Amino acid sequence: MEKVTIKDKTFRKLIPYDTVAAAIDKVADKMNKDFKDCEDVPVLLCVLNGSIMFMGELMKRLVFDCQIVSTKLTSYAGTSSTGKVKQAMGLTADLTGRRVIIVEDIVDTGNTIVELKNILKEAGAAESYVCTLLLKPDAYKKDVHLDYVALEIPNDFIVGFGLDYDELGRNYKDIYTLDI
């Protein structure tokens, strides 16, 4: 579909699934090289709900042992960030002494990443890395290093491949941007 309508907004295709899949392949290849000889079992931290599709696709491509843990943070209302990050669900496992790879759907302002890094530090994680499907470089002004970035996109509101507009549109395999 070239365009989709969700509630009161129309979105046009920005990134086809084939491009998304190729970008995930590249990120997985880099992660596989970085973690291929690890003796511990790294933890993939799925940031719900947006990262579910990315996490599922990424995991299929990883060749090292890993464990999955989830958390849920919220910071959006409608099509814009509230600027405040709230933890809607805590970590689903003890991460003391563990290496954790945060798996995010998108990094824009970076507020969620900063909060996640603080949560992991307080939880006693030994190390933490950031893996994101999408990065909005024009919006990201934080000092936290992003270890794995699949795609860079403009600072536009998007839906699809896990990303939503008022909890709808996550199921589209392509990524769409607001059609103005």
Q: Kindly list the catalytic residues.
A: 108
Beta strands in 16-171, from DSSP E residues, in sequence order: 43-48, 67-77, 80-89, 99-107, 127-135, 148-152, 158-159
The DSSP annotation for 135-171 comes to E-TTT-------SEEEEE--S--EEBTTB-BTTBSTT
Provide the CA 169 distance to its chain's centre, in angstroms: 16
How many CB atoms within 10 Å of residue 22? 12
Q: How many CA atoms are closer than 13 Å to the CA of 65, on its beta-carbon side? A: 5
Beta bridge partners of residue 81, listed in sequence order? 76
